[in-house]
Amino acid sequence: MDKRIPSLYDLAPDALAEQMARWGQPAFRAKQLYRQLYAKLAADFAAMSDLPAALRETLARETVLGTLELRNVQTGDRGLTRKALFGVTGGPPVESVLMIYDDRATVCVSTQSGCAMGCTFCATAQLGFRLNLSAGQMIEQVLWAARELAAMKPPRTLTNVVYMGMGEPFNNYDAWWESVVRLHDPKGFNMGARSFTVSTVGIVPGILRLAEEDLPINLAISLHAADGALRSRLVPVNRKYPIAELVRATRVYTEKTHRRVSFEYVLLQGVNDSPDHALELAKLCRGAADKGPPLLCHVNLIPWNPVPGAPLGPSDRKRVLAFQQVLEAYKVACTVRVQRGVDIAAACGQLAGAVLT
């Protein structure tokens, strides 16, 4: 990168204002630029028509808007699911998925290229860890989705941002949180805190840190098994942060925030999907793990999406229903995640940067 300021999206409002001052620009110009970036969704400097031509030339000479390069967009579900493949300057690619529903539109954002967590049922894990994305690079994925929606007829707006793409957000906490704060800023993109969801493999220090943050975003935790030995096989990080610690951290989080966590549970036929497994999960949710009161939680069952080379299969419909019935009998709130983008390898756990497919 030969530019002196790598990417405007990596500058917080203060840093952007300071940089503009260094270029001899008055404060109101910095505000205009900030609005162009996050409220008007300008895709290039030429579109920033309220900025003087000379300033736009300076920007084009001294900096770049972003460092993700849109390489390909694949569409599925009759155009309602769109997967973007982005080249990362100087690194391996990442993917993002836009999902459009009748009443909402959600973008699923990657926080890393590849992932170090090694979950046995996930395609991203097969890549291993490649690199941490910057806050700006996460923001760029969201802005891509917002622009796609704005270009629809009639125009749509983005209602949800889920950090559930490639990577483990809590292994890149600072950059991830910076992206949340920026996208939330009412003076810019103005996304409500409750519109964000982060999904973690179960990094306990990250959960405890999130409990202390002042924006009430949603937390999802990838549980996938209520039994320690089984969870260690599916989610190897369980050896570092076992279920008992995860439950403790969940209690700290719910007591502090009064917000319900969502436990994600991918259903693998014959592995973790029997009525006994459901019973164990129900008991965990009811507080059995530490003999406490019921956890403030909800279970999100995820039908497994096929991953090349994984010797696993998705649970059939009957087993999913039976599993759900056990949870309901124990009064554990539970939903089954709607599958999106399976035909274009855009569903949960299928993002592999077109490297594997």
Residues carrying an active site annotation: 95, 348
63 contributes a contact to ligand SAH by CB under 6 A: no
What ranges make up the beta strands (E) of the chain? 68-76, 81-88, 91-100, 105-108, 112-114, 129-132, 160-163, 196-200, 218-222, 261-267, 297-303, 334-336
Contacts of 120 (CB under 8 A, 6+ apart): 233, 234, 236, 310, 312
Binding mask 262-291 for ligand SAH (x = CB under 6 A): --x-x-------------------------
Q: Find out whether the peptide bond into 293 is cis, omega within 30 degrees of 0.
A: no
Would you count residue 119 as binding ligand SAH (CB under 6 A)?
yes
Interacting residues of 233 by C-beta distance below 8 A, sequence separation 6+ = 120, 225
Task: Calculate Rg over the CA atoms of the chain.
Answer: 21
Q: Does 164 bind ligand SAH (CB under 6 A)?
A: yes
If phi > 0 it is left, if psi is from -120 to 50 it is alpha, else beta; for residue 258 that is left
Binding segment for ligand SAH (CB under 6 A), chosen from 119-127, 129-137, 252-260, 269-277, is: 119-127
Print the binding letters for residues 190-229 with ligand SAH: x by CB under 6 A, - otherwise.
---------xxx--------------------x-------
Q: Which is nearer to ligand SAH, 7 or 199 (CB)?
A: 199
Q: How far is the CB of 219 from ligand SAH (least distance, A)?
A: 10
Which CB, 267 or 282, lies closer to ligand SAH? Answer: 267
CB of 282 to ligand SAH, least distance (A): 19
In the numeric block, which tokens belong to residue 234?
């599916």
Interface residue with ligand SAH, options 305, 323, 324, 332 (CB under 6 A): 305
User: What is the separation, in whole angstroms, between the first and last Cα of the chain?
Assistant: 30
The SS3 of residue 208 is: helix
Burial class (CB in 10 A: 0-12, 13-18, 19+), 151: exposed
Q: Which one-letter amino acid corresponds to residue 56? A: R
Q: Figure out which of the listed residues 65, 219, 278, 302 binds ligand SAH, where binding follows CB under 6 A.
A: 302
Among 95, 140, 168, 273, the residue binding ligand SAH under the rule CB under 6 A is 168
With tokens 């007591």, the residue in question is 255
307 interacts with ligand SAH by CB under 6 A: yes
Closer to ligand SAH by CB, 143 or 164: give it: 164
Closest residue to ligand SAH, Cβ-based? Answer: 349
Distance separating alpha carbons of residues 126 and 309, to the nearest angstrom: 10
The nearer residue to ligand SAH, 160 or 200, going by C-beta atoms, is 200
The one among 36, 349, 352, 353 contacting ligand SAH by CB under 6 A: 349
| Binders in 67-106 for ligand SAH, by CB under 6 A | none
Quote the least distance from Cβ 315 to ligand SAH, whole Å.
11
Q: What are phi and psi of 213, to 5 degrees?
A: -75, 155
Nearer to ligand SAH, 64 or 348 (CB): 348
Length of the chain: 357
For position 334 contacting ligand SAH by CB under 6 A, the verdict is: no
* Contact positions vs ligand SAH (CB under 6 A): 119, 121-122, 164, 168, 199-201, 222, 264, 266, 302, 304-305, 307, 348-350
